[in-house]
Structure 1
Amino acid sequence: MITHSFSTQLYIDGQRTDGESNTVLAVRNPATEQTIAEVPDASVADVRRAITAARHAFDEGPWPRMTPDERAAVLLRMAEEMERRIPELVAVNIAEAGSVRALAETLQTRVPIAHLRDMAQRVMPAFAWERPVDPTIMPGVGISQGILRREPYGVCALIAAYNFPFFLSMMKLIPALAAGCAVVLKPAPATPLESLLIGDFADAAGLPPGVLNVVTGDIEAGRELTTDPMVDLVSFTGSDAVGRKVYAQAAASMKKVVLELGGKSATIVRADGDLDGAVRSAFFGITTHAGQGCSLLTRTIVHESVHDEFIDRLHKLLGQVRVGDPADESTTMGPLISQAQRDKVEKLIRAGEQAGARIVCGGGRPAHLDRGYFVEPTLFADVDRSMTIAQAEFFGPVGVVIGFRTDDEAVRIANDSPYGLSGAVWSADTVAAYELAARIRTGSVAINGGGAGVTPRAPFGGYKQSGIGREWGEFGLDEYLQTKSVAWAAR
């Protein structure tokens, strides 16, 4: 067990509470395989209590009726409390998600807090919550005029994935709360601890009871959130397979659905591209959080004239990775989240070998580690775009390299995927790079290492089976708002 100063109980209607049953979920450190905490496995009745609390808070409580400035003040107080407890968030993230310290201190914790501040300080004050409708002369009516109002969507079920627990929960929670919604947040069963901490931040900031509820559970809890008619909107991050189930379950009650799903994002490296920069980009796509990121660039499409040199350079760089326990500050790549995830990745690696692809490096487990869910950083060459390893999302530290001759061929390979979340182009010819970026069917493209990154000023979301809707900043806020027209005839 880890030592922590926060409750692992459910957070419902502003109170910490036990689950209805004594059933618990074990939270394991993926680097040591040891149980570090136990949390309630919320029952259907527990989830219904949380939904009922959110419904009452939305229908009867003050939060949706507060001004945007009043809500922003509460959100800023939450940000202040989060900043005060960053060391605790970092420690918990390393223990439950297996992040190396550099990632835990940035993308996993400080970045979502920066998004929260941006929402309260930049987006909310400037957002067009109301705007006039220009007067129009309508036959038989006269002059019609009115107001367009942006109103909170209602009760929202927020379901996060395991790889970036605090980040993903916050990317949903920030716009939902800013809009004036009430929410039930369900973190992934493997990584619930950081999301439970958010209840403490809500209390410290004075968020009204019922506006935020946090339930820890697995399949049954998730199904209740996606089917209960009192829920108006579902936002889910996870695999495309589960995303399709969420979509289907929400359809019966016509809920709005926001989905952020998988990816097999491609980088195109032209003959004139910066090879050093492209190699570093591919390196980080393979090794960042052991490849457990839906937008990571794991499919590299390289011009045949620089193909072999690219592979040689990337091979050398991957040889410098220090795989091990992320609690050790010398570690540069940690474990996968579970034995089941490692089994999946290893099965795909074997499928690549059997299909005739060549393993340049990796392909197994680190010999110096006898426990923990580790896989070596792995690189495949001689890959055909039709192979399973070129189509399936590994969600592990595995990259594939595919050669091309012409720009048209590169675009066809990049778009030959059921996914479309992110992408990249490397070329000294920035006009050609932009034209390629415009042709790739994906939600974002970085040219020569630039791009939106994780700024709240650009939207995040995918094409095709990578999802529905957008997150971050004003784009994310818009998903949690309804548009109402209030019109009247001038007499």
Structure 2
Amino acid sequence: MPEPYAFSTQLYIDGRRADGESDKRVVVRNPATEEVVAEVAQSSVADVRRAIEAARRAFDEGPWPRMRWAERAAVLLRLAEELERRLPELVALNMAEAGSVRWLAESLQTRMPVAHLRDMAERVMPAFAWERPMDPTFAPGTAVFQGVVRREAFGVCALIPAYNFPFFLSMMKLIPALAAGCTVVLKPAPATPLESLLLGDFADAAELPAGVLNIVTGDAGAGRELTTHPMVDLVSFTGSDAVGRMVHSQAAGSTKKVILELGGKSASIVRADADLDGAVRAAFSGITTHAGQGCSLLTRSLVHASVHDEFVERLHTALAAVRVGDPADEATTMGPLISEAQRDKVEKLIRAGEEEGAGIVCGGGRPTGLDRGYFVEPTLFVDVDNAMTIARTEFFGPVGVVIPFRDDEEAVRIANDSPYGLSGAVWSADTVTAYELATRIRTGTVTINGGSAGVSPRTPFGGYKQSGLGREWGEFGLDEYLQTKSVNWAAR
């Protein structure tokens, strides 16, 4: 690796490191080389329960939920300082376990979560309406009533992020939960646990009270314990829509609140008057960023028939120049998929597209000369109907489809004809029409002509339909981790 990286292979429960009760180990592999990066303690159900009980004690008896917001903000800022000090280690570790190319590891994967953390402590928490008075209410013949509306921590939270952005997704859940005064049990994905496990060291350095943050590992069994245990009040999950539905069902037995950030098959509408260079760059990014392993990436390009061929030609040229390989190589512009199983899934969907009659403009196989690592070529399909499997199923791989349309009505219909509703885009020189189209697209986020706030904490993130429930980031994310209580009294 370009730099040394540190990590822990132990669980973190009640402010202490622990090996766990199970003899089983979680093997973490570098997806670019297939080499073992580490073997991590595998949580038993008993370990998960100990973590939940520690979080419950910390919430019911500890100081964290009862601190003033300013006191919690001070701890979050200390945490931010520690993260900033050790960013090079996190970057190298992310490249090793998640397969990110360097620019992605240095930006969205690591620095952006720290920016969100600082924003929460410095902007959101000071301005948030933690408590506000109610207008006096007169009940004729009785009394005048007054009161306050309080926002209080939801309780014990189970946080379950996905493998693709391990540190980013863990922090996007942890930041609002801690800011709200909640206590948490964090269970990272089995494929990428190392960055999340390192958070225990950062918590110690920031002097976070014991039991407020607990970190366990594990597979479906550990997840099921978190989603069903009666001491857990809220579950926040990021992953596939199939597993998300399972999480929702499991949590319903004890009426937990559930926040779900699930899949996407986001459409980019390219009108005849669009800036083709910008639209092609967006489509290129949707296919190649983290090898397509991003739920909000634009993977369906809906292109007006009059510019369809030119769009495809430009995108083909850009994809042909992609350098696929090990992220440790500075020349690499696209890395691997996370695992052999994920590569198999992507290749199976590519074959399904061919069988359904779609045409492959470029890619479709494995890069030559890369005998190890879970690599797939950037792949572009044309002659695609929106009813095809490849237009409706999330690949989570470097594959995009181009679908022509004749008019705006057809474009909106195709964009909305999806089980998902996470992101979208409109490209047009007519910004008024572009805005009108954006309001009709049933997704949580729509960008116009590439004008995106990106992953700014000032914007809410979440989806419609099977893309999930709730919102994340900034004050919108904080709101999800708070209960609303009214306290009333008679004024006279």
Q: How does 1:366-445 map to 2 (within 5 A)?
A: 366-445=367-446
Counterpart secondary structure, 2:236: strand
> 2: distance between equivalents of 1:447 and 1:30?
35
Is 1:488 matched up with 2:486? Answer: no
* Alignment correspondent of 1:47: 48
> 2: distance between equivalents of 1:71 and 1:77?
10
* Alignment correspondent of 1:215: 216
State the shift of 1:368 in Å.
Answer: 1.4
> 2: distance between equivalents of 1:138 and 1:319?
73
State the shift of 1:144 in Å.
Answer: 1.1
State the shift of 1:457 in Å.
Answer: 0.2
* Alignment correspondent of 2:347: 346
Letter in 2 for 1:241: A
* Alignment correspondent of 1:37: 38
Structure 1 residues 102-138: Cα deviation after superposition (integer angstroms, max 9, x where no partner)? 0000000000000000000000001000000000112
Is 1:248 matched up with 2:242? Answer: no
State the shift of 1:22 in Å.
Answer: 1.2
> 2: distance between equivalents of 1:141 and 1:7?
63
State the shift of 1:490 in Å.
Answer: 1.3
State the shift of 1:451 in Å.
Answer: 1.9
Q: Is the 8 A contact 1:131 1:147 kept in 2?
A: yes
Counterpart secondary structure, 2:490: strand
* Alignment correspondent of 1:133: 134
* Alignment correspondent of 2:268: 267
> 1: distance between equivalents of 2:79 and 2:36?
30
Residue segments in structure 2 that go unaligned for 5+ positions in a row: none
State the shift of 1:30 in Å.
Answer: 0.3
Counterpart secondary structure, 2:278: helix
Q: Is the 8 A contact 2:237 2:244 kept in 1?
A: yes
* Alignment correspondent of 2:228: 227
When residues 141 and 153 of structure 1 are mapped into structure 2, their CA distance, relative to the original with a 3 A threshold, is: farther
* Alignment correspondent of 2:204: 203
Structure 1 residues 134-178: Cα deviation after superposition (integer angstroms, max 9, x where no partner)? 001123542111000000000000001000000000000000000
> 2: distance between equivalents of 1:37 and 1:394?
28
Q: Is the 8 A contact 1:92 1:193 kept in 2?
A: yes
> 2: distance between equivalents of 1:63 and 1:43?
27
RMSD over aligned Cα atoms: 1.0
Q: How does 1:281-292 map to 2 (within 5 A)?
A: 281-292=282-293
Structure 1 residues 258-295: Cα deviation after superposition (integer angstroms, max 9, x where no partner)? 00000000000000000000000000000000000000
TM-score scaled by structure 1? 0.99
Counterpart secondary structure, 2:418: coil
Structure 1 residues 334-392: Cα deviation after superposition (integer angstroms, max 9, x where no partner)? 00000000000000000000000000000000011001000000000000010000000
Q: Is the 8 A contact 1:141 1:489 kept in 2?
A: no
When residues 141 and 373 of structure 1 are mapped into structure 2, their CA distance, relative to the original with a 3 A threshold, is: farther
Is 1:319 matched up with 2:320? Answer: yes
> 2: distance between equivalents of 1:258 and 1:356?
38
Q: Is the 8 A contact 1:23 1:40 kept in 2?
A: yes
Moved over 3 A (4+): 1-6
When residues 423 and 382 of structure 1 are mapped into structure 2, their CA distance, relative to the original with a 3 A threshold, is: same
Residue segments in structure 1 that go unaligned for 5+ positions in a row: none
* Alignment correspondent of 1:478: 479
* Alignment correspondent of 2:161: 160
Counterpart secondary structure, 2:338: coil
Counterpart secondary structure, 1:350: helix
Q: Is the 8 A contact 2:8 2:194 kept in 1?
A: no
> 2: distance between equivalents of 1:26 and 1:4?
17
The size of the alignment, in residue pairs, is: 491
State the shift of 1:315 in Å.
Answer: 0.1
> 1: distance between equivalents of 2:7 and 2:194?
9
Percentage of identical aligned residues:
81
Q: How does 1:175-194 map to 2 (within 5 A)?
A: 175-194=176-195
Counterpart secondary structure, 1:449: coil
State the shift of 1:7 in Å.
Answer: 2.2
Letter in 1 for 2:127: A
Is 1:465 matched up with 2:466? Answer: yes
> 1: distance between equivalents of 2:131 and 2:26?
45
Letter in 1 for 2:406: R
